[in-house]
Structure 1
Amino acid sequence: MKIRYRSLDVFRGATVCLMILVNNPGSWAHIYAPLDHAPWHGLTPTDLVFPFFLFAVGNAMSFVIPRLQEAGPAEFWKKITKRTLIIFGIGIFLNWSPFVRWNGDTLQAVTWVTDPAKNIGIRIFGVLQRIAFCYFFASIIVYYLKPKTAYFLSLVLLLAYWGLCILGNPADPYSLKGWFGTNIDKAILHIPHMYKGEGVPFDPEGFASSLGAIVQIVFGYFVGMYIKNSSAQIPKDLTDKQDPRNPMFKMLTVLFVAGVGLLVTGFCWDMVFPINKKIWTSSYTVYTTGLAIITLCVMIFFIEIKGSKSFLATFFEVFGKNPLFIFALSGFLPRLAALFKTKSGVTPWNWLYMKVLVHTPGAKENGSLLFAICVIIFMWAIAWWLDKRKIYIKV
């Protein structure tokens, strides 16, 4: 019996949907706490979105890598190099777009280094760039190494990152100013091209913190392969997915236990190596992978085995059909709309919030959240239109 893996599309689509939600509030000054990142250590629901997406990237790789192994190294390198460069390039494009900005009443070109005196320039890294960077190295790991070796290397990378943090600054290894990775990013990226949202040059998607993110994709690949192999063992005469003979039940049990084990391990590791999204600590990788596995288990049970046709599953599935395109578009449109900003700061993108939703009764966060929901509905409509016409934009 063939499994459609609809749950994987739903899982991926849900992460994209939530990424759009947290990235598009009506006002950054008015955000409910669960929809904002943790200030430093710890995590909020928002801090689960990015690692869940990387985990989903690994799931998707489990269907692609076996085909590339059959095709040979030349096809493998052609495929992953092209995909890496395109995704990384789209990320740079978004950071740089719309390439011009208003300077008083004049449109001015945005240059690579906008203001050398203030160390302001185009940021090199970002969400899509991290996806590309980590996808590249995770692909190499799972393509060339046997599963046990890849698993061992993943553990080594997580432990090595922990050791580098301590060796980099034994006195204060996990603070914003004491974390070793910032000096590496400064040397390679240079300050004008780094993120400065923390008040100092610090890039949460930089080089050093990518070690744990690479492992997150590898773990997603392992889970995807296990799901794929388990479904291949379903007897051909098994027509009822809820039949006790269905190997999916054993698979879910194993995955659920593994997810809980990772969750507990990450929680315990947090006591000595704090869970921290911004420097992507090893405990954060392990903890969020455990949560991702448990979440996926629940989705597989209800969608693949129980055959649920819930509205939410259908809604998220649409996002999962064109995930990177929809996410990139949701980042590009506000930037483009900024070119048509009025003197009061109103653009075609934020008009609904500035003129209507800002007056929503109750807390100011209500209107800000409603605007984000409207953005989701708008982007879903585009994704639905593409899906209906079977237009799937892949790289």
Structure 2
Amino acid sequence: MQTTTQAAIHTTGAMPLAEASQPGRLVSLDVFRGLTVMAMILVNNPGDWGHIYAPLEHAHWHGCTPTDLIFPFFLFIVGVSIVYALDGARRQPATHGRTLVRIFKRSAILFGLGLFSALFPKFDFDTVRIPGVLARIAVVFLVCGILFLKTSRRQQIGLLAFVLVFYNVLLQLVPVPGYGPANLEAGTNLGAWLDRTVLGEAHLWKQSRTWDPEGLLSTLPAIGTGLLGMLAGQWLRRREVEPATKVAWLFVAGGACTVLGLIWNGWFPINKSLWTSSYVLYAGGLALAVLAGLYWLTDVQGYRRWIKAPLVYGVNAITVFFLSGLIPRLLNMVKVAGPTGQPTGLRDWLYQTFFVPYFSPVNASLAGAIACMLIWLVVLWLMYRRNIIIKV
């Protein structure tokens, strides 16, 4: 990771309509990324995992809650970001070799951060979870980065369609060795079998050990989510298209994808853990609509007075996600006397002392999550004020 500086992005004043179609950094993309990471911090850091409001939990299996939209939104954003980061290099084939090295390097760093996070603080390599959020981001960035450099937009659309159909066929038609017919159950589907066979149960999600929500096979349609973002990014980069037309067609594409996802849900259910093809279209369609709305508000109309909080999250997204997973564990390594006199971790002591006595269990849990999000907002705001942006 490296620290760099960047001029602050102004948050006041109107932006002329023509400026929105010019190449450059999308404010709306940083805001979208920031809102997504803020939501991620909120749902990943409840005060008490046993008391959570339903919308802040993942669907038990089939179905989709607001929480289930966070990760696909982030992968969609990765796809859009690839276009803005690599479009110049794509137009210069002579530089593709160096660009590919950068892509592999960044993917390796992301994967390494994910592995470190899974190992910390015990560093038990025999039981470390290999798949994970950062590992999936790394793979999606790697594959989509290569595809963006080496394929055309039409080829990317074809690949997206092929991936979604092929994945549907794999999960619903290919028999599962040792279990029989194809199925979509948690521990007996084809993806779960592949994870156990290749990685071993000891290296899967610790809550199950028989399957992993970020497993190997489901990474294939997750790449499809990144491809959707790439297609959206290329549309936004077209200089000859008026901003209003860009927004209108993004909304049309988003609505079409969402409806197709709901239709496909009839025989291939929307499911985050399996990352089903219907889920890719449903979540991707909603992501297209959100990006269209934010693009119109911030990049076209210039309404930016409200964006500072998500913006400071957005420019240091990976940093806050990585550290927000480590620091609670660090705090709990510090032992203090709990309410009963027994030693307890500092993080748990803070929650029991400042939240539990004053709220109902579920509201105390939510208040703890909001406090965590606000603490990080202060930290990131200070970094932003000093133009500190940590890049992977």
Q: 1:184–1:354: structure 2 CA closer, same or farther, 3 Å change rule?
A: same
- Rounded to whole Å, the distance in 2 between the matches of 1:228 and 1:384 is 29
Match of 2:366 in 1: 369
Q: Which moved more, 1:146-155 or 1:59-68?
A: 59-68
Structure 2 residue matching 1:349: 3-state secondary structure: helix
Match of 1:258 in 2: 253
The residue correspondences of 1:109-148 to structure 2 (distance < 5 A) are 110-113=123-126, 121-148=127-154
Summarize deviations over 1:156-197 as a string: whole Å, max 9, x none: 011000000013348452111331011111122111111132
Match of 2:293 in 1: 298
Summarize deviations over 1:8-64 as a string: whole Å, max 9, x none: 110000111111110000000000000000000001000000000000111110112
Match of 2:327 in 1: 333
**1:233 correspondence with 2:233:** no
Q: In 1, are the aligned partners of 2:28 and 2:295 still within 8 Å (CA)?
A: yes
Structure 1 residue matching 2:346: 3-state secondary structure: coil
Match of 2:104 in 1: 81
- Rounded to whole Å, the distance in 2 between the matches of 1:151 and 1:369 is 41
One of 46, 63, 69 as aligned partner of 1:42: 63
One of 379, 384, 387 as aligned partner of 1:387: 384
Summarize deviations over 1:254-279 as a string: whole Å, max 9, x none: 11011000000000000000000001
Structure 2 residue matching 1:350: 3-state secondary structure: helix
Structure 2 residue matching 1:325: 3-state secondary structure: helix
One of 160, 174, 196 as aligned partner of 1:186: 196
**1:350 correspondence with 2:360:** no
The residue correspondences of 1:134-173 to structure 2 (distance < 5 A) are 134-169=140-175, 171=181, 173=183
The residue correspondences of 1:307-318 to structure 2 (distance < 5 A) are 307-311=302-306, 313-318=307-312
Match of 1:103 in 2: none
- Rounded to whole Å, the distance in 2 between the matches of 1:364 and 1:193 is 33
**1:360 correspondence with 2:358:** yes
**1:91 correspondence with 2:114:** yes
Q: In 2, are the aligned partners of 1:352 and 1:371 still within 8 Å (CA)?
A: no
Match of 1:116 in 2: none
Paired amino acid for 2:185: S
One of 270, 274, 279 as aligned partner of 1:284: 279
Summarize deviations over 1:271-320 as a string: whole Å, max 9, x none: 00000000100100010000001111111222222221343x22111100
Summarize deviations over 1:110-139 as a string: whole Å, max 9, x none: 4212xxxxxxx1111111111001111111
Q: In 2, are the aligned partners of 1:97 and 1:336 still within 8 Å (CA)?
A: no
TM-score normalised to structure 2 length: 0.89
Measured on the aligned residues, the alpha-carbon RMSD in Å equals 1.6
Q: 1:48–1:345: structure 2 CA closer, same or farther, 3 Å change rule?
A: farther
Q: 1:309–1:76: structure 2 CA closer, same or farther, 3 Å change rule?
A: closer
1:213, distance to aligned residue in structure 2 (A):
0.6
- Rounded to whole Å, the distance in 1 between the matches of 2:230 and 2:386 is 30
- Rounded to whole Å, the distance in 2 between the matches of 1:274 and 1:331 is 31
Q: 1:346–1:2: structure 2 CA closer, same or farther, 3 Å change rule?
A: farther
- Rounded to whole Å, the distance in 1 between the matches of 2:385 and 2:277 is 41
**1:5 correspondence with 2:26:** yes
TM-score normalised to structure 1 length: 0.88
Structure 2 residue matching 1:202: 3-state secondary structure: coil
- Rounded to whole Å, the distance in 1 between the matches of 2:141 and 2:31 is 20
Match of 1:222 in 2: 231
- Rounded to whole Å, the distance in 1 between the matches of 2:161 and 2:63 is 22
Q: Which moved more, 1:186-195 or 1:341-350?
A: 341-350
Match of 2:186 in 1: 176
Q: In 2, are the aligned partners of 1:34 and 1:45 still within 8 Å (CA)?
A: yes
Match of 2:82 in 1: 61
Paired amino acid for 2:161: L
Paired amino acid for 2:145: S
Aligned residues: 361
1:341, distance to aligned residue in structure 2 (A):
3.1
Sequence identity, in percent? Answer: 37
Match of 1:242 in 2: none
- Rounded to whole Å, the distance in 2 between the matches of 1:73 and 1:250 is 32
Paired amino acid for 2:280: T
